[in-house]
Amino acid sequence: MNLGCIGGFNVPYYTREKLLTKEHIFSKFVNDEELLQYIPSDAKLSSLTRELLLSILAYIKKEKYLELYGIYKTIKLQRSTTGCKSYDIKIQTNFIEKIQEYVSVAG
């Protein structure tokens, strides 16, 4: 990894699901000596940024980065669709009549 190679690999984190948080990302570093050599031995996790950890993964262990990126894309897709949800709303009677009388301009 070249000096100054950091950035552009940030993804949102999901604290409720405990996914893509700094702790979750760092779990990919555990027992991986190749990745750990890019982290100072006395560094605390709180002093490292998510973007640094993701950058190291993207440059050194791309498959681990892509695994995390896949999680992000899956969550994003799940949250972008309504999935046949039904909603109950209250509409005033006079408004219901106007809805029933509606005629589309297209045809």
pLDDT tens digits, one per residue of 32-60 = 999 999 998 888 999 999 988 999 999 99
Burial of residue 97 (CB within 10 Å: 0-12, 13-18, 19+) is exposed
Q: What angle do CA 32, 35, 40 make, to 5 degrees?
A: 115
Q: Are 18 and 79 in contact (CB under 8 A)?
A: no
58 Cβ contact list (under 8 Å, min separation 6)? 9, 65
Burial zone of 75 (CB within 10 Å; 0-12 exposed, 13-18 middle, 19+ buried): middle
Q: What is the mean pLDDT of the segment spanning 71-98?
A: 78
Confidence of residue 22 (pLDDT cuts 50, 70, 90): very high
For the chain, what is the mean pLDDT? 84
With a pLDDT cut of 90, the percent of the chain lying above it is 41
pLDDT at 69 over 80: yes
